């Protein structure tokens, strides 16, 4: 019972943080609607006034972040804007009380920080993949919030271990926890390299052990009928958005990650060879051939898009005009969800297309190594997690057993 109470309280805290992010974003949108500038928002958020070096330093930090929020809103990447607004509020509130989220009160740090955002930047600058940068950023924002909530006890091994234990108590998967541990290890390493943390303490954090265990891949496989219904929803839309979303679904059906779909440029598509060049995780390039309707879907979209250079998939306004602005990964997800709702398909994510792609190919007898290459996995072991054949074999084996239970008569 105590464990259930703890988990309920933890979930309540998570919901409050998500609500805070949504509230921050709503406030940003209200400020934009009333004509506020990024500088005015930064001044409001930091509580800056005309007096004191500390306030001026806060404003110097807050203004670039506020401009980035404004830019994210303009490109309709509201998920990113909400995260930035939330982190800026956390920095402003804590800096007014303690001199920074990880400031001078931290005995384990060898110098003061302007804010936690500066530390996150140190970590993400060394990452090549946009997906990794987003994941590490989310992980460090969560750790920073936990760190502040626990009185900023100092960045050291025992503190990180306590954080890992809380993640276990939350019921997060081993893969998620290990990713967060990796982000904190890199944070400690970068802080030590920049004379912000004792090398001894950084080495201790580097020895924090990962969590053992595994979990089934998230999501589910889509049926052929569900996929057809989503394409039919696109066909029912006579505007360019319908053609674009059909091309988008075709690319997801080929196992692309949503970030890869969003990152495609027109130059990445060789129409004569019906071949796409994909830049995946770790800046690894791979080629994907467009067959069995995928090439036709992309061709129909390009006939409406035009031949100007830039993003392969573009925004379409409510009037049906194609804009010369690309889609963010969040917009790819939203477009897919829109067509799923229209098709009556529930509980679906872009990653479900990727899972279905791998499972369907392996069920059809495709070689595991080939499917791994098509998905951009570093190892076939990763791809094997999507293989449905072992599960089918296990079900068949269990079906050989007989449980001698006799149903009770109805009362």
3-state secondary structure (DSSP) of residue 106: coil
CA dihedral 199, 202, 203, 205 (to 10 degrees): 170
The C-alpha angle with vertex 252 and arms to 73 and 381, in degrees rounded to 5, equals: 110
Q: Residue 63 has what pLDDT?
A: 64
- Residue percentage of the chain with pLDDT more than 90: 31
Find which of 154-163, 213-222, 247-256 is predicted with most confidence, using mean pLDDT.
247-256
Look at the pTM and tell me if it is higher than 0.85.
no
77-91 pLDDT, tens digit each: 777 776 776 666 555
pLDDT, residue 298, reads: 95
Position 62 scores a pLDDT of: 61
Return the higher-pLDDT residue of 262 and 34: 262
CB atoms within 10 A of CB 351: 16
Residue environment code for 199-228, b if the CB has 16+ CB neighbours within 10 A, otherwise e: eebbebbbebeebeeeeebebebbeeebbe
- Output the CA–CA distances (angstroms, integers) from residue 95 to 104, 139, 299, in the order listed: 10, 21, 53
Phi, psi of 180 (to 5 degrees): -70, -35
Average pLDDT over residues 347-373: 89
If phi over 0 gives left and psi between -120 and 50 gives alpha, with beta otherwise, what is residue 151?
left
Q: How far apart are CA 376 and CA 391, in angstroms?
A: 23
Q: Would you state the structure tokens that stand for residue 187, as one six-digit string?
A: 């944070």
For 174-220, the pLDDT digits (tens) are 888 999 999 999 988 888 887 777 888 888 999 999 888 766 666 78
Across the range 350-371, mean pLDDT stands at 89
Give the closest residue to 85 by CA, choosing from 157, 6, 17, 153.
Answer: 17
Name all domains of the chain by residue range, CATH numbers in brackets.
2-206 (no CATH), 224-387 (1.10.443.10)
Mean pLDDT (the chain) is: 78
Residue range 225-233: mean pLDDT, rounded? 95
Q: Which of 3-12, 60-69, 99-108, 347-356 is predicted most confidently?
A: 347-356
pLDDT in tens, 309-356: 999 999 999 899 999 999 999 999 999 999 999 999 998 999 999 999
Return phi, psi of residue 322, to 5°: -80, 125
Residues known to be catalytic: 257, 281, 351, 354, 377, 386
């Amino acid at each position: 019972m105590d464990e259930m109470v703890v988990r309920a309280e933890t979930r309540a805290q998570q919901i409050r943080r998500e609500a805070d992010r949504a509230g921050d974003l709503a406030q940003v949108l209200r400020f934009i609607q009333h004509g506020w500038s990024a500088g005015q928002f930064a001044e409001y958020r930091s509580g800056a006034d005309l007096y004191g070096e500390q306030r001026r330093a806060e404003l110097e930090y807050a203004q670039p972040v506020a401009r980035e929020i404004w830019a994210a809103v303009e490109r309709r990447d509201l998920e990113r804007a909400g995260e930035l607004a939330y982190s800026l509020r956390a920095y402003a509130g804590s800096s007014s009380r303690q001199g920074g989220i990880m400031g001078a009160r931290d005995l384990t740090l060898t110098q003061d920080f302007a804010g936690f955002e500066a530390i996150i930047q140190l970590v993400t600058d060394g990452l090549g993949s946009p997906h990794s940068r987003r994941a590490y950023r989310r992980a460090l924002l969560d750790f920073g919030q936990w760190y502040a909530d626990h009185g900023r006890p100092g960045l050291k091994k025992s503190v990180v271990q306590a954080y890992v234990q809380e993640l276990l108590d939350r019921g997060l998967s081993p893969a998620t926890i290990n990713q967060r541990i990796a982000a904190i290890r890199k944070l400690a390493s970068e802080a030590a390299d920049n004379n912000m943390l004792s090398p001894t303490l950084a080495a201790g954090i580097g020895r924090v052990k990962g969590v053992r265990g595994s979990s089934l891949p998230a999501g589910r496989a889509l049926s052929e009928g569900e996929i057809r219904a989503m394409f039919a929803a696109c066909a029912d839309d006579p505007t360019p958005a319908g053609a674009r979303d059909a091309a988008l679904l075709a690319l997801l059906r080929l196992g692309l990650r949503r970030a890869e779909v969003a990152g495609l440029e027109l130059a990445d598509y060789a129409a004569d060879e019906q071949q796409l060049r994909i830049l995946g995780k770790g800046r690894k390039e791979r080629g994907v051939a467009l067959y069995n309707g995928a090439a036709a879907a992309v061709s129909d979209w390009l006939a409406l898009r035009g031949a100007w250079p830039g993003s392969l998939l573009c925004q379409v306004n409510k009037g049906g005009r194609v804009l010369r602005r690309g889609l963010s990964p969040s917009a790819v997800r939203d477009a897919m969800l829109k067509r799923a709702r229209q098709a009556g398909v529930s509980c679906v994510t872009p990653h479900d297309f990727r899972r279905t792609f791998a499972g369907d190919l392996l069920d059809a007898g495709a070689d595991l190594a080939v499917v791994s290459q098509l998905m951009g996995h570093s190892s076939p072991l990763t791809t094997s997690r999507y293989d449905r054949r072992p599960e089918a074999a296990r079900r068949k084996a269990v079906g050989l057993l007989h449980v001698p239970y006799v149903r009770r008569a109805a009362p």
